[in-house]
A and B are shown apart, each in its own frame.
Chain A
Amino acid sequence: MASFKFPTIHKFPPFYSFQPTQSTWQHQVAHWSRIILLYFRHYRLYRLELSESLNSELFYNKTIKRRLNLETLQAIISEMVKEGTAEWDPPNKKISAIIYWRKPEEWATLIYNWVFDNGMTNSILTLYEIAHGEITEGLGIYAYQSVLLKALDVLVKRGQAQVFQGTSADDMGVKFLV
């Protein structure tokens, strides 16, 4: 996979320090959240372990020797949670988060369209089959389970899917409706 190309601001030394001016901070958050989403999408990542990630190329620019600190990253992710592009997991503990580089609604549409196009409506699939089988392969994605569950929720609300609880989450059955 080609390596991710960071935008110019990723080389801007103060980008790694918390900006005390409110308007500048908003700008800083907007850029960080955009970079995080693009980066996660590029490498098909879903889960962000905050402390660990501070050593990755995403938050640590070795060329200019600048690194984001934990408090600033937490503040950035908190803003993303407000925007609906991230979710603390587990909730209320700011140590790791799921990054939604595609919203559950978009996943839902993608999954349903694939099922429909492949004539699999009206058949029952288990969650495991969906997560590891043809669907996600067909879509070229590995769908993170909690992201997948959210997407299925959306389909149920739309009346495009029906869910049967199994003994475990993997056994959960899903019927896609026409």
Chain B
Amino acid sequence: MRRRGLGALELRKRQGEAVKYNEFSNDLAKSQAEQFKIQREIFKTNLQEFARKYLKDIRKDPQFRMHFQKMCSNINVDPLASNKGFWAELLGVGNFYYELGIQIIDVCLSTRVGNGGLLELGELKRRLEKMRNASGSSASIQEISEDDIIRSIKTLKPLGNGFEILQIGNRKMVRSVPRELNIDQSSLLTLAQERGYITKEIVASSLGGWSTERIDNAIDNLLADGLCWIDTQANPHEYWVYSFFDGMDDENDE
């Protein structure tokens, strides 16, 4: 039996269809992209209108501000991207975060000697609020949330190494020293969260397999970095994490 090949005519017809399909799909994609662009523009315009309308709430209410930030980032609009940008000018949010950033630096540096450059996020927030309440007139006081602080710290990134947020156990800690906490140090800090301190015995029994040298070395590092204080009146010696001690420094900045 002779296999029937495609006729030349048939072939040409199919090629033509393929071209047409291609054209059609290109057109479709183009128009969809157009459509999307238009929609995005509309959304952006709406967002701007929304922002204008709720300007006060965005400035005042940290919860509202967080949701607004999320909405913006969904469409790749970053109100913080430029200080001169439309958003920053409209909302003044750029300034808000930069100002907060400076205050964060201030608090972190002034507490660094005691805590070795590791400050709990909640504690940082309390100190910031105190500072802002003291310096601003009542009209300019804006509430801040932990989300604001985290955003603000991200805007400090271009200033180089230093500020970073670490998750240690269930606490968020702000690190303001330009050095990495090594894995051993982090493990010890996580362990210290339970009691506020550790002893070499606790480390040995909780983190199985650590040699005496490794424990000594990691603890010496914590002491040398100023993250821990030693209590030689306890038997065995206890190593206390300064920034885990509740209420520290509260009364010390009148």
Closest partner residue, chain A, to B234 (CB atom): A13
B229 touches A14 (CB 8 A): yes
Interface residue? A20 (CB, 8 A): yes
Using a CB–CB cutoff of 8 Å, the interface residues on chain A facing chain B are 5, 7-9, 12-21, 23-24, 26-28, 31, 34, 65-67
Which are the 3 A-B pairs with shortest beta-carbon distances? A14-B229, A14-B231, A7-B251
Apart from A14-B238, A27-B113: 10 A-B pairs, beta carbons within 8 A: A8-B251, A12-B242, A13-B233, A16-B231, A17-B229, A17-B230, A19-B230, A24-B113, A66-B231, A66-B233
Residues of B within 8 A of A13 (CB): 197, 231, 233-234, 238, 240
Shortest Cβ distance from B238 into A: residue: A13
Task: Report yes or no: B224 in contact with A14, Cβ–Cβ below 8 A.
Answer: no
Residues B182-209 near A (CB distance < 8 A): 197
Q: Contact between A27 and B114 (Cβ–Cβ < 8 Å)?
A: yes
Most buried by B among A9, A31, A65: A9
Grouping DSSP codes into helix (H, G, I), strand (E, B) and loop, the B interface class, with mixed when no group exceeds half, is: mixed
Interface size class of B (residues with CB under 8 A): 20 to 34
**7 A-B contact pairs sorted by A residue (CB < 8 Å):** A12-B242, A14-B229, A16-B233, A19-B229, A26-B113, A28-B229, A65-B233
Chain B 224-251, CB-CB to A under 8 Å as 1, else 0, gives 1010011111100010101001111111
Scoring A7, A19, A24 by chain B CB atoms within 10 A of each residue's CB, the highest score goes to A24
CB contacts (< 8 Å) of A31 on chain B: these are 252
What is the interface of chain B, defined by CB distance below 8 A to chain A? 113-114, 116, 197, 223-224, 226, 229-234, 238, 240, 242, 245-252
B26 to chain A, nearest CB (A): 67
Contacts of A9 in B (CB 8 A): 248-249, 252
Write the nearest CB–CB distance from A31 to chain B, whole angstroms.
Answer: 7
Residues of the A chain whose Cβ atoms lie less than 8 Å from the Cβ of B232: 17-18
**Set B223, B231, B249, B250: member contacting A20, Cβ < 8 A:** B223
The distance from the CB of B223 to the nearest CB of chain A, in whole angstroms, is 6
Residue on B with the closest CB to A11?
B245
Pick from A14, A18, A21, A28 the residue with the most CB of B within 10 Å.
A14
**Cα of A115 to Cα of B197 in the assembled complex, Å:** 55
- A8-B245, A27-B113 given; A17·B250 CB < 8 A: no
- Give bound CA distance, A8 to B247, whole Å: 6
Q: What separation, in Å, do the CA atoms of A21 and B248 have in the docked complex?
A: 19
- Report whether B252 and A21 are in contact in the complex, using a CB–CB cutoff of 8 Å: no
For the complex, what is the distance from the CA of A17 to the CA of B233, rounded to whole Å? 7
The reply to whether B223 and A21 form a contact with Cβ atoms under 8 Å apart is: yes
**B226 engages A20 (CB within 8 Å):** no
- Point out the residues of chain A lying under 8 angstroms from B245, CB to CB: 8, 12
Contact B231 A17 (CB under 8 A): yes
User: Chain B residues near A18 (CB, 8 Å)?
Assistant: 232
Distance, CA A161 to CA B246, complexed state (A): 51
Q: Please pick, from B116, B229, B251, the residue contacting A12 in the complex, using a CB distance under 8 A.
A: B229
CB distance from A121 to the nearest CB of B (A): 35
Instruction: Quote the shortest CB–CB distance from A54 to chain B (angstroms).
Output: 13
> Judging by beta carbons under 8 Å apart, are B226 and A34 in contact?
no
For residue B194, give the distance in angstroms from its CB to the closest CB of chain A.
Answer: 16
Q: Is there contact, CB below 8 Å, between A20 and B248?
A: no
- On chain A, the residues within 8 Å of B242 by CB distance are 12
Q: Which single residue of chain A is at the shortest CB-CB distance from B224?
A: A21
Cα distance A23–B113 in the bound complex, in angstroms: 6
Contacts of B240 in A (CB 8 A): 12-14
Interchain nearest-CB distance for A41 vs B (Å): 13
